Amino acid sequence: MQKVIVLGGGMVGSAMGADLCNEYEVTIADNNAARLKHLKSLFNIKTFVFDLNTGNLAELISQFDLVIEAVPGHMGFETLKKIISAGKDVVDISFFNEDPFELEKLASSKNVTAIVDCGVAPGLCNIILGYHNKRMKIESYECFVGGLPFKRTPPYEYKAFFSPVDVIQEYVRPARMIEDKKLIVKPALSEPEIIKVEEVGELEAFNTDGLRSLLKTMKIPNMIEKTIRYPGHIRLMKVFRETGLFSEDEIEIDGHFVRPLDLTTKLLFPFWKPEENEDEFTFLKVKIKGEEKGVRKEYIYEVFDRYDYKTNTSSMARTTGYTCTSVARLVLQGKLKSKGICPPEYIGAIPGYYDKIINMLKQKNINIKLTENFI
């Protein structure tokens, strides 16, 4: 039986381990012993208490056929570099700030398949775009995505269903987009717009830096990604940001030096922690316009997924984690042999692979609504 190790036993990492453990020998490594003990009591997995900051990662992963990286973004790039240096194939969902293609030469020299940004967005949306980019001349690509609780609790009306530290990055990291073939950079939280979602009503979308690898791999004249929240959340996060509460620069208070971000996260995250088995949803909408076989067409993909009470799995863990595990299965089956850094749009472009991944998600009751329009 092939062996898989998941680095990170959080909400998404544990869901991926649970999904794979009936087909593969799965180990989850995390620095939280209590969390691992709980996971081991629930699933047919092995666990290993491990600190990425001090432990020997190359030794840890040496006996595994595939590594799945599910660590917070600020640790992602260096962890990925260590995995590749150890010569191990990897599927990554850490969504780090750095450019993964900086590791292209290393990954190629180590004969490693390193699939990055393999979640829901980026991830699933990239697979969809890669598929259509092979079949049509695309004029524009738009992606709207977000995960929210059904229960709207003031003042934030939000819960973090993945790493809260990475959520804050969406509010501070400048958003890169393509307009008329030019790279444009705009502030995060900018250009809010109202979108209507049938199941929940009006939501508010704002610019975020979610295009990532697409900025290099796609030659599309117009591309943008926006994150969604309940109306009013943007205004509140702007107040936090402009006040400096998200700043990583130390300030002095009575002779003590602190980062405002550290204080903010300490105070804020308890409000953002989901309740046990809290009902929530993930919404994804992808719009692709262009010309296909001489006809102008528009494709609209929509995913509305909610908490799964049968498995006690959040929708964010489902949509992010199961996209990752679907791709992981292809790697383990020997069907993905591309070496080097491989963003998900490369996978969507391979004949038949889009269908394989969409079908695997459908088996997990992640339903993708597709609308085709002539324009």
Question: Tokens at residue 84, please?
Answer: 């590749």
Token couple for 278: 């809290």
Instruction: Using the predicted structure, report yes or no on whether residue 92 has a pLDDT greater than 90.
Output: yes
Determine contact, residues 55/86, Cβ cutoff 8 Å: no
The confidence score (pLDDT) of residue 336 equals 87
CA–CA dist 114, 132 (Å, integer)? 23
Q: Region 78-100: what's the mean pLDDT?
A: 97
CATH superfamily, domain at 124-306: Dihydrodipicolinate Reductase; domain 2 (3.30.360.10)
Instruction: Tell me the pLDDT tens digit for each residue of 232-241.
Output: 999 999 999 9
- What distances in angstroms separate CA 351 from CA 134, 160, 275, one per listed residue? 9, 36, 42
Topology adopted by domain 3-120+315-366:
Rossmann fold (3.40.50)
Residue 65, pLDDT > 90, answer yes
Give per-residue pLDDT as tens, 146-161. 999 999 999 999 999 8
Domains of the chain by residue range: 3-120+315-366, 124-306
